[in-house]
């Protein structure tokens, strides 16, 4: 089974977390694209969706799934999204596709965060995947210098603008032992919008696609 088939397996299994009559939080990325397709098959069962990116919004709308402005939604039972890495506490690195800020906002609003991924995303220590940090454009160099002082190696993601009109620095060379502390430290740098560590509010459930089928993992 190739990684894409494993992503599809995880995406299909996530359907069981979708509540009837509710608005569903929908993330961004290749794994979520499979989930959006599956969601289309049960669209009559849900009220609609909130989405973490313009690309997911376009896919949802193409399937005639109503997409709501998050400001109009007060109750969001579940948010379903992928990840670039997860540790065994279900703390995540996200933002490989640059959607981290909207993803973190929907995570904050949702009652339950169900993460879906192929089995390669589960790691012992976060940081092999470069950690994305969304920055206000005029602050980029300043933020990069601050990250260097912290021991990271920031790399500017060239020719990429987020849906919020900002830029991304990807931090290489990290071995993240204290995820929540690093998440807060990075967010405290002036000019940072947010970073891709989801440690203070980790996922509640991780569904991994494996050749043997979907495997559900709870935080250690
Ligand atoms: O910004 C993108 C998101 O955080 C994605 O959830 C993450 O990059 C994983 O994407 P994929 O499902 O394509 O591996």
**Where residue 213 falls among pLDDT bands split at 50, 70, 90?**
very high
172 has which bridge partners?
153
- Residue 168 CA to ligand 1 center (angstroms) comes to 14
List, for residues 34-87, the tens digit of each pLDDT value: 999 999 999 999 999 999 999 999 999 999 999 999 999 999 999 999 999 999
Query: Can you give the pLDDT at residue 149?
Result: 97
**Structural domains in the chain plus CATH codes:** 3-124+200-217 (3.40.50.1360), 131-193 (3.30.70.260)
Q: Catalytic: which of 103, 134, 146, 183?
A: 103
- Residue 103 CA to ligand 1 center (angstroms) comes to 10
Question: Which structure tokens are listed for 46?
Answer: 């849900």
To the query of whether residue 103 is one of the catalytic residues in this protein, the response is yes
Residues in the chain: 220
> 121 in ligand 1 pocket by Cβ < 6 Å?
no
Which ipTM score applies to this complex? 0.98
Question: Maximum distance among all alpha carbons in the chain?
Answer: 52
Indicate which atom in ligand 1 lies nearest the CA of residue 81.
Answer: 6
Is the pTM for the entire model greater than 0.95?
Answer: yes
- Residue 109 CA to ligand 1 center (angstroms) comes to 19
Four-point Cα dihedral 91, 97, 102, 105, nearest 10: 0
List, for residues 4-35, the tens digit of each pLDDT value: 999 999 999 999 999 999 999 999 999 999 99
Query: Can you give the pLDDT at residue 130?
Result: 98
List, for residues 120-142, the tens digit of each pLDDT value: 999 999 999 999 999 999 999 99
């Amino acid at each position: 089974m190739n990684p894409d088939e494993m992503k599809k397996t995880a995406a299909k299994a996530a359907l069981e977390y979708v509540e009837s009559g509710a608005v569903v939080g929908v993330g961004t990325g290749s794994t979520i694209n499979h989930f959006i397709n599956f969601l289309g098959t049960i669209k009559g069962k849900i009220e609609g969706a909130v989405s973490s990116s313009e690309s997911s919004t376009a896919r949802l709308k193409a399937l005639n799934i109503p997409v709501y402005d998050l400001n109009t939604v007060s109750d969001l039972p579940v948010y379903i999204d992928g990840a670039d890495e997860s540790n065994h506490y279900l703390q995540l690195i996200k933002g490989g596709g640059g959607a981290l800020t909207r993803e973190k906002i929907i995570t904050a609003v949702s009652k339950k965060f169900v993460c879906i991924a192929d089995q390669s995303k589960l790691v012992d220590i976060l940081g092999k995947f470069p950690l994305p940090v969304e920055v206000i454009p005029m602050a980029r160099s300043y933020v990069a210098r601050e990250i260097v002082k912290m021991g990271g190696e920031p790399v500017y993601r060239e020719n990429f603008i987020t849906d919020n009109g900002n830029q991304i620095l990807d931090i290489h060379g990290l071995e993240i032992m204290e995820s929540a502390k690093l998440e807060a430290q990075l967010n405290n740098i002036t000019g940072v919008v947010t970073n891709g560590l989801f440690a203070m509010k980790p996922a509640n459930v991780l569904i991994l696609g494996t050749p043997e089928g979907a495997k559900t993992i709870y935080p250690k």
